[in-house]
Structure 1
Amino acid sequence: MDSPSKSVVDMIEASSGVHFSGFHLDAQDSSKKLEVEQPTSSLKHAQKQPFVIGVAGGAASGKTSVCDRIIDQLHDQRVVLVNQDSFYHNLTPYELTRIHEYNFDHPDAFDTEQLLGAMEKLKHGQAVDIPKYDPKSYKSTVFPARRVNPADVIILEGILIFQDPFVRELMNMKIFVDTDPDVRLARRIRRDTVEKCRDLNMVLDQIRGMHTLIRDAEITKHDFVFYSDRLIRLVVEHGLGHLPFTEKQVITPTGCVYSGVDFSKRLCGVSVIRSGESMENALRACCKGIKIGKILIHREGGDNGQQQLIYEKLPKDISDRQVLLLDPILGTGNSAVEAISLLIKKGVPESNIIFLNLISAPQGVHVVCERFPRIKIVTSEIEIGLNKDFRVIPGMGEFGDRYFGTDDE
C-alpha cells in the first residue's frame, strides 16, 4: 500500500466509530501484502474485554513477522499471542502409521472447540493453559502447557482462523497476509524439513503434485503455464543457492551489526531457444535487471541427431560471469553439450556454469557430467529414461509447444 502507515494503537482507537480502509506495517518484503477488515466492535465494548486481532494467511506467508511487528507497536499494552498450531489434534496410532497421507492444513486437523474455550476464557479475564504441540511426535502431551494470563490485546494467528464462524466472531480486527505462492512454497519446504522435522517425502509431495498436473495431457494451457512457472521458480531459487558468496557485515536500522553473506553480482542467464525462454521470467523475478543471452541450436534428424549452432547472442563479458543455463528438458544431453561447449569457448569456466531444468533423463545427466564433470545440474525430477525415439519418458511432451500454445491441437 502507498498510503502512510498507521500504528496498531491508532487502529484500535479508531475502532470506536471511525472507519478505516488500510493497514500498513512498513514490511520490507514487497511480495507481502496485508488486507485488513474493519473492526467488528467498538472501543467502548473492548474496554471491558481484550481487543482480539486475527492474523491469517497461507502457510509460510510471514504471519509470525506481522505479529512481531504488531507486538512491537503495542509495547505499552499487555499483549498475548495465541497460535492455532498449538491446537492440532493428537494423532491416533492408526494415523501415525499413515502420516504421509495426513493433511495438516485441513480444518479437521485442529481442535477448534479447545481453541474456542481458551479464547473465551482469555476474553473474560481468566488465565488459560495453552497446549505446546510437538511436531516430532505429533502430540500436545509431550511438553507442559504454556500458562497465558489475561491481557489488553490478544493476537490469534493461524492459517485457518477465519474458517470457523465462531472463531471469527471473537475478533475485533482481521488481518490477512498475502504472499507470493512461490515464496511461500520455498519457505515451507525449508521450514517443514528443518524446523518441524517432517519427512522430506511429505514436503516433496507438493512438488510431485505440480508435476502431476503439468504432465497431464488434458490440462488447460493456462494451468500448464501456471504450475510450470511455479516449478521453474523453485528450480531457479535453488540454483541461486549454489552461487559463490563471501561473508559480509551490514548495519541494521537498529544500529546493530548483522553478519551475513554477499552473493556474486557478476551473474547472467543464457536460455536455449525456445523452451529455455519459458524460464526467463522466473530468473528476472529473482534477479532484477539480470542480463540474459540466447542460444539457438538446430537438431538434424530428431532428438538424437546432429546438433547445429544457428544463433547466439551473449553478453560480451560473459567470461567474467557466473552463468545460469536455462532449458526445461534434459533428454539425450546433446543440445546441452553444444550449449555448454559454446560457453566454454567464450571463456566461461566450466565450474561457473549451473544448468537449470525441470526434468532430466539419466542418460542426459550422464552425458553432460561425463563431458563436463565440474558443471552443476539443478532439476526438479529425474525421469525413467528415453524411449526408442529418444524422447524423455514419462516426460511432458514438447514443453515449448505446450507452454507457448503452439502445439498441433
Structure 2
Amino acid sequence: MQKKPIIIGVAGGSGSGKTTVANEIYRQFPEQSILMIEQDAYYKDQKDLPMEERLQTNYDHPLAFDNDLLIEQLNNLMEGREVEKPVYDYANHTRASEVIPIEPKDVIILEGIMILEDDKLRELMDIKLFVDTDSDMRIIRRLMRDINERGRTIDSVIDQYTSVVRPMHLQFIEPTKRYADIIVPEGGKNHVAIDLMVTKIKTILENKSML
C-alpha cells in the first residue's frame, strides 16, 4: 500500500527568503525521498493569447496561477503516480513545451508566494510555513536579484514593486500568514527554525520507514 507523502508548504512574500528556507530544508536530505515543487512552475499557459496581452500579466495575483493543475498533480503524487511538472518560459510569458517528470516521494516541499491563498491547496498540506521578512529587506533583495540576475533597471524594479508587488502582497499574501502553523522570521538566516523543520522531517521519514 502506497504511504501518503507529507506535504510541507513554504509561503511568504517576494524577497522574503522562502526559496532559501525551502532549499536549505531540501539540502539536508541528499539521500532521502524528498522533492521540491515551485508554484512558479504553474503559471497559466498563455500560448493562445497575443504577446501584448501576455505582457500585461500580473504574476503577483492569484489568478495568474493554474492551481487546478498543481492540485491535480499533487493528488497524483500522493497516490503514487508520476507527473509531468510544467516549465514556464518567462521570455515568452507562457508555458514552455518541455516538461519535467516528477516521481512520488515521501516528503514534498511546496514553495511559492500564493500557496496558502487557495483553500483546496492548503487542505493538502501537513505543515504550513510562512516566511515573514520586513518589507524594506524584501524590496532590497528584489532590487539586487532583478538587477543582477534579470538585467532590470532600478527605476523599473521600484515602479513594479510600488504599483503591483506591494499592493498584491498586502491584499493576497500577508493575510495568508494566519493559516501558517509556523511563522519563520527573517527567512534563510533563521537557522533555528530551519533546524527545527529538518528535525521534524527526519522524524517523519524515520516513522515512515518503520511502517
TM-score for both structures, normalised by structure 2:
0.68
Deviation at 1:192, TM superposition (A): 3.4
Deviation at 1:207, TM superposition (A): 5.6
Task: Report the residue type matching 2:36 in the other structure.
Answer: L
- 2:114 equivalent in structure 1: 160
Percent identity between matched residues is 40
Tell me if the contact between 1:135 and 1:197 (Cα under 8 Å) persists in the aligned partners.
no
Task: Report the residue type matching 1:89 in the other structure.
Answer: K
Matches of 2:135 and 2:123, distance apart in 1: 28
- 1:185 equivalent in structure 2: 139
Gap change, CA 1:126 and 1:202, over 3 Å in 2:
farther
1:127 matched to 2:94? The reply is no
Deviation at 1:195, TM superposition (A): 3.4
Matches of 1:134 and 1:81, distance apart in 2: 19
- 1:170 equivalent in structure 2: 124
Matches of 1:100 and 1:193, distance apart in 2: 19
Matches of 1:200 and 1:89, distance apart in 2: 28
Deviation at 1:153, TM superposition (A): 0.4
Count of aligned pairs between the two proteins:
163
Matches of 1:71 and 1:134, distance apart in 2: 24
Gap change, CA 1:197 and 1:164, over 3 Å in 2:
farther
Secondary structure, aligned partner of 2:40: helix
1:113 matched to 2:65? The reply is no
CA deviations over 1:141-183 (Å, ceiling 9, x no partner): 24x2111111110000000000111100111111111112111
Tell me if the contact between 1:136 and 1:197 (Cα under 8 Å) persists in the aligned partners.
no
Gap change, CA 1:84 and 1:151, over 3 Å in 2:
same
Gap change, CA 1:95 and 1:125, over 3 Å in 2:
same
Q: Between the two structures, name the one with larger relative contact order (CA 8 Å, sep ≥ 6).
A: 2
Matches of 2:30 and 2:53, distance apart in 1: 44
Task: Report the residue type matching 2:79 in the other structure.
Answer: H
Secondary structure, aligned partner of 1:141: strand
List, as ranges, runs of 4+ consecutive aligned residues in structure 1 with deviation greater than 6 Å. Answer: 198-201
Gap change, CA 1:196 and 1:171, over 3 Å in 2:
farther
Deviation at 1:74, TM superposition (A): 3.2
Secondary structure, aligned partner of 1:65: helix
Higher helix share: 2
Task: Report the residue type matching 2:83 in the other structure.
Answer: V
TM-score for both structures, normalised by structure 1:
0.37
Looking at CA atoms only, which structure, 1 or 2, has the larger radius of gyration? Answer: 1
TM-align CA RMSD: 2.6
- 1:67 equivalent in structure 2: 22
Matches of 1:203 and 1:120, distance apart in 2: 37
- 1:206 equivalent in structure 2: 160
What does 1:27-38 align with in structure 2 at a 5 Å threshold? none
> Where does structure 2 lack aligned partners over 5 or more consecutive residues?
165-211
Matches of 1:59 and 1:101, distance apart in 2: 19
Secondary structure, aligned partner of 1:203: helix
Matches of 1:208 and 1:64, distance apart in 2: 22
Secondary structure, aligned partner of 1:145: strand
